[in-house]
A = this chain, B = another copy of it.
C-alpha cells in the first residue's frame, strides 16, 4: 500500500551545547515543526505555510521544507509532485534549530511517499542542503539530532560522520526563547578565524567532559562542562540581557547555562523538574527585567526518538 499523504513531526534541538560548537546537539521534546506531504499529479513541489511567526519564507524554493522536498523529488525522479503543508511552530533565527526541524520534517514526510523509502541517516544530506539554504553553512548539529534523536556528535564534516552518544536521561534541559531574532549568518560572522591553542585545549577538555557527562547521566559534570570560552563571549553581545539571564539561571540552581545554537535562545541544565521550573522562572524574569523581552519556555529531557511520522493515509 502506497502512502497518499504523510504527516511528520521534527523536534527542536539545542546545538553547540556550550563548548561543542558545530559538533554537538541534542533533541528536545517541544517545540517542533510538522509537515504534511501529499502526492499530486502535477510535477514539482507546492508549499503552504501555517504559522504565527513572521519572516517564514512562503516560496517553496526559498523555504527549507520546500527546498529539501524539491531536492528529494529530483534525486529520486519521482513520477509525481508533492503538496507540502508546513506547520511552522518555531520562529526563524531562534537558536532552536528551526530550519533543521522544517527540513527534517519535510525529508521524513517525502521519504514516506517514496516507492522505496531510505533510512533516516541517509536523509541527512538532503536536510543539510536545507541548512545551507537557511544559513549558508551545512552544519549538522541541529539536523542530526532532530532527525535521529538523542545526543549527536558530528565527528567530521568531510566526510560527514555522525556519532550517536548513548545518554542517560537524568538531565533536565531548560530552554528560554526570548522573542528576538538573531540571524545565524550574523551569528557566524562574529566568530574568530583563529583561536589560541591554549583556549582550544581548554575547549576540547570541556567537550570530552560533556560527552562523558551525557553518557553517564552526570548532570553536574555536564553542567560544569558547559563552559564555552571561544564562541559564547562573541555571541553573547548579540543577545540583550544574556549576562543577566545566565547569572539568574546559575543563581537559581542551574548547573550550567549557555546559548542554544546561535541564539537568542538560552538553555540551562537542571538535575530535577522542580529545579528546572525555578530556573526557567528566573531566566524569564531576567529577560523581562533587563531587556524588556517576553519569552517562550520549554522544559524537556533529551528526546531519544527524533523525528517521527505522526500520521499516514493510504490511497
Contact = CB atoms under 8 A, between A and B. Distances in A.
A156 B205 contact: yes
A208 B207 contact: yes
Contacts of A207: 204, 207-208, 211
A196 interface: yes
Nearest to A231: B197
A208 B208 contact: yes
Q: Which of A197, A210, A230 has the most CB of B within 10 A?
A: A197
A125 interface: no
Nearest to A209: B155
Interface string A135-161: 000000000000000000111110001
Given A212-B165, A212-B211, A23 B192 contact: no
Interface of A: 19-24, 153-157, 161, 163, 165-166, 191-197, 200-212, 215-216, 221, 224-225, 230
Nearest to A202: B156
Given A165-B212, A195-B195, A153 B200 contact: no
A225 B155 CA distance: 8
A163 to B, nearest CB: 5
Contacts of A194: 194-197
Contacts of A221: 163
A212 B21 contact: no
A202 B208 CA distance: 13
Given A194-B195, A221-B163, A225-B155, A22 B201 contact: yes
A208 B211 contact: yes
